[in-house]
Amino acid sequence: MTKTLMGYADVISAPPGGRIAFKVSSDDAKPYRAQIVRLIHGDTNPQGPGYHEQVVAGAEWSLAGRPQAVRPGSCLVIPATSAFSQLNSFGLNLLIWPTTPAKPDQVLSSLWAPDRRAGFILALSGADGLTLTLGDGSGGVVSVSLGAPVLARAWYRLDVSFDAPSGRVDLRQTPLARHPGVDDEGGVSRLVELRGLGRPDEPLVFAARVATDAPGFQGFYNGKIEAPRLLDAAGVAVGAWDFALGAEGQIVHDVSGHERHGRLWQGPSRAMTGHDWNGADYHWQGAKAGYGAIHFHDDDLLDAGWETDFSWAVPTDLRSGLYAARLTGAADEDYIPFVVRPAKDGPRARLLFLVPTASYQAYANEHLALDAAIAELVHDHLPVFGPNDLYLAQHRELGGSLYDRHSDGSGVFYSSRLRPILNMRPKYQSWLGGTGSALWQLNADTHLLAWLEQIGVAFDCIADEDLDAEGVEALAPYACVMTGTHPEYWSTAMRDALDAFRDRAGRIMYMGGNGLYWRIAYDPAGSGAIEVRRCEVGNGWITAPGEAYHAWGGEYGGLWRRIGRAPQTSVGVGFVGEGFDRSSYYRRLPASHDPRAAFVFEGVDDEVLGDFGLIGGGAAGLELDRTDPALGTPPNTLILARSEGHTANYLQTVEELLINYVNQTEISPVFGEMTLFETASGGAVFSTGSIAWAGSLSYNNYDNNIARVSGNVLRRFLDSVPFSAPLPARIKETI
């Protein structure tokens, strides 16, 4: 099946009565039908219960279908003004740090009316190097090229001017670091016939130019730009932009006194080190210098900007849950998932399932197995690609995940949900999901939702984005919060909310592995996009020195463990290692027979738990967590069970290592731990410490020891009777 139908919604969640707009591209312009469905079990594995969705009555559309394009690439747009269009003579100064200098047609700055060919374009033009193109709007177009080489990831000062009365063009390129044998410094002066710029009534654009035949921009540049200044004939600044100001947003400030502020397009990377960064300051907020750059990419994407095909008002009586708009064409289908929240003032279930949409976004459209040679080694099997993967491989314009690199090799800091996310889908199989069902993130989480439906426990859903926006008040109505299988990405507001909920006697069922791991920030402008800075420890990429602080909010990024709030402080366990082939099982520890844990094992006599399942064949697998008192596991934590028998593919995560040694895997095997602890306020936290856990719930028609343990915990956690939390007289079988 070739992928032709896809879309996205304008929101990730909506309450009853709220309206959702769906934006769809039918690449072959063929008609399609749309229906709203409740997602129950997204796993199509014939070894399991099978795919299950429920159609929502009265929510159906027949649509004509039309292609909608995605045009990535970032730039800075300064609105058109007569001060620009009246320029004939001009000067332009800026600093650049190009990352793909050999790529042709990379516009550094432009004031260009494409229809009349009026104005100027300053660009890096492949072998021609720095090139200034001038157009007078009357057919006269000239280009002057310097022809000097430009090194990648090196700073240059560029000084460009055009004197209209004389027709004199000056270009000068000055490297800030000189190297023997590299002739990258130079200048050229030339007289041209042109005598004016033909009143280009267009915005001044940095890192691109106004597109010729489509809305938007083209000629995108890869690299950093710093401190651009546009001068008039007298050498007086018409605009001068300081990129260090307001780096937390999309507005760029003019410091010339003319207030010609600009807006960024498609989210280039802000709060980036500039030409003068020297390590004296590591935080862009408060730094006196060193953070004057913006890094533009030709594949940045914050908003695909599609037109709405249909919209839907969520019925006021619709159950909260995970839903999707199912699109069905003649030759393809797609699902656009979203969360229906409970009504703000309506009745609530006692259980909340926190849909880890930040983590879905972090992996959105990942290309790891396509781009990284190590994917097969990590997985220990050939990566398997389906139609969505093949489409993503060809259509890089859909943007990358937070694990991917931009086309210039730099890391992707931002992930938007305003674009089709082809791996955030029911039925989707992921190479990351191990053997068996091969599920990851959203589709894996449907194992939990289907189990809740099976046992008949009512639950509400909210999205991570809701939690970030509303804090603990979003959790307060509930007795218990259940996580997804891999809730890995958390903003500070989200972690604060979860901890506050727990400390108010809330109960938490952490049903996954490698959760609460990376710190993120949501876009303060409300686009729903998230930012990560993979500092100190990387994955897919690692931040450059000095770029560890988020632009959005200015917090230090990276692992929560490095920030002093390891996952263990919230849920008792934290990431220790991973493998992506086969899963294993848990063996109960003596603490599982502690009277405090009796409710967990009611009706479970087995010592081995979860030696079955759809994710790798066991409940302990993919990514595993364990206790660590030094990282904040509460002292009254009971370690109920520990996984064992993992394959040699399960390796410690790098932040666990201070040094490597021979046969480390055998000497320090990776295992996950199942834990329980009570809180002083009468709450409690149960953790599985494994992504694969949920894949075992449905085994034997949901009658098995993993389902029983999960159900026992859930029933007790929904019971309002407070937990007593006596610290053991002596700490035995605890941490």
The residues of the shown chain that bind another protein, judged by CB under 8 A, are 44-46, 369-373, 376-377, 380-386, 390-391, 393-396, 407, 427, 429, 435, 581-582, 647-649
Range 724-732 contact pairs with CB under 8 angstroms and sequence separation of 24 or more = 724/678, 724/682, 725/636, 725/677, 725/678, 725/679, 725/680, 725/682, 727/635, 727/636, 728/636, 731/635
Closest to another protein by CB, 338 vs 428, is 428
Closest to another protein by CB, 381 vs 562, is 381
| C-alpha to C-alpha distance for 56 and 325, rounded to whole angstroms | 10
The CB-of-321 to another protein minimum distance in angstroms stands at 24
| C-alpha to C-alpha distance for 336 and 316, rounded to whole angstroms | 21
The CB-of-435 to another protein minimum distance in angstroms stands at 6
Closest to another protein by CB, 330 vs 382, is 382
Closest to another protein by CB, 100 vs 592, is 100
| C-alpha to C-alpha distance for 306 and 45, rounded to whole angstroms | 34
The CB-of-102 to another protein minimum distance in angstroms stands at 15
Angle at 122 between CA 118 and CA 125, to 5 degrees: 115
- C-alpha distances (whole Å) from 190 to each of 138, 145, 147, 416, 628 are 21, 10, 13, 45, 69
Closest to another protein by CB, 291 vs 671, is 671
> Dihedrals φ, ψ of 122, to 5°?
-105, 125
The CB-of-143 to another protein minimum distance in angstroms stands at 29
Closest to another protein by CB, 76 vs 369, is 369
Closest to another protein by CB, 256 vs 647, is 647
Closest to another protein by CB, 368 vs 508, is 368
The single-letter code of the amino acid at 416 is S
| C-alpha to C-alpha distance for 271 and 535, rounded to whole angstroms | 14
The CB-of-368 to another protein minimum distance in angstroms stands at 11
Strand intervals (E) in 176-292: 186-191, 204-206, 209-210, 217-218, 223-231, 237-242, 251-254, 262-265, 269-272
The H-assigned helical ranges of 97-139 are none
| C-alpha to C-alpha distance for 305 and 324, rounded to whole angstroms | 20
Closest to another protein by CB, 3 vs 565, is 3
Residue 367: strand, helix, or coil? coil
Note whether 694 and 687 are within 8 A (CB).
no
Closest to another protein by CB, 547 vs 623, is 623
The CB-of-372 to another protein minimum distance in angstroms stands at 7
The CB-of-544 to another protein minimum distance in angstroms stands at 21
| C-alpha to C-alpha distance for 499 and 496, rounded to whole angstroms | 5
The CB-of-46 to another protein minimum distance in angstroms stands at 6
The CB-of-52 to another protein minimum distance in angstroms stands at 15
Closest to another protein by CB, 350 vs 379, is 379
The CB-of-390 to another protein minimum distance in angstroms stands at 5
| C-alpha to C-alpha distance for 160 and 143, rounded to whole angstroms | 13
DSSP tag of 544 = P
The CB-of-621 to another protein minimum distance in angstroms stands at 12
- C-alpha distances (whole Å) from 339 to each of 39, 97, 315, 459 are 10, 42, 13, 12
Closest to another protein by CB, 30 vs 395, is 395
| C-alpha to C-alpha distance for 195 and 192, rounded to whole angstroms | 8
| 465-483 exposure pattern, b = at least 16 Cβ within 10 A, e = fewer | bbbbbebbebbeebbbbbb
Q: What CA dihedral angle connects 606, 608, 609 and 612, to 10 degrees?
A: -110
The CB-of-428 to another protein minimum distance in angstroms stands at 10
Q: Which helix (H) or strand (E) holds 159?
A: strand 156-163
